[in-house]
Amino acid sequence: MTERKKFLGELISECIAVIIIVLMGDSSAAMFFLYDPSPYKTAYWGLCIVWGLSVTTAIYVTGAVSGTHANPAVTLSLAIFRGFSWRKVPLYMVAQIAGGVIGAAGVYALFAPVIDHFAAVHHMDRLHDGAAAGVFFTHPGDFVTPMHSFVVQIILTGLLLLGIFAITCEYNTMAPQANSSALMIGLLVAGIGASAGFLDGWAINPARDFGPRLFCYFAGWGGSALPSPGNYWWVPIAGPLVGGVAGAGIYQALIRPFMPPRNIAVAPVSSIDRSV
């Protein structure tokens, strides 16, 4: 296989991984927002599990090809700390955002009639009221300002990358072995959502938020999507990028140097490690 063909396969895989995440995750958000009674509002852990399983599924589908970064914050952190090729970073991110756009289009294809009914019943429209926008992209919760959300995104994405780097570290004898790391990363995503998701929707992934936001901009939501109320659009991009690097850096600086030597460590096989 030529290098160009291999790289093309990686980009396709990254796009498909985010499609899977958004298609499953935003569909569960549609079940949360659009239905009354909602199957999730009294069992929020179910929503978190769906988001987590969407990540696990994406890893199992695409991990052998691209390593399933599926998140610009992951790609950036791997480039800084684990030798991932910097020349691949921009196109990986473009592919991930494209996956977010396509995934959101799939969710819209599934739920368009329900979205229209929701807007009519609540006397809302997409452009001015952002009707059902929460199905597709995140926004601050009650009592949360955009700047506080920026801090939230830094902390939560830092936790995500701290966990991912630990789970996929070849020196970590406590890491899950072989392909069980995909399930543990999914549970990590679910756990983050269950612990702090109400604050601002726990984007923790610029592609997962900006891709659907971009789709919605052209699908009738306009300024409700971009730049969004309070000019919020940049927060789920900048916060995860800063937080991801910080979390990965904490692992590399404060945990990784104290791991046992490689010759006595049991090295787990990780889909993410295959990409570096």
Give yes or no for a cis peptide into 90 (omega within 30° of 0). no
Task: Evaluate if pTM is beyond 0.85.
Answer: yes
pLDDT for res 87? 97
Show the domains of the chain with their CATH numbers: 3-275 (1.20.1080.10)
Residue 40: what pLDDT?
Answer: 85
Which pLDDT does position 216 carry in this prediction?
97
- Residue 263 has a pLDDT of 62
How does pLDDT run across 33-91, given as a tens digit for each residue? 999 888 888 889 999 999 999 999 999 999 999 999 999 999 999 999 999 999 999 99
Residues of the chain with pLDDT under 70: 178, 263-276
CA dist 237 and 205 (Å) reads: 7
- CA angle centred on 138, ends 136 and 141, rounded to 5°: 135
Sign of the alpha-carbon torsion through 19, 25, 31, 33 = negative
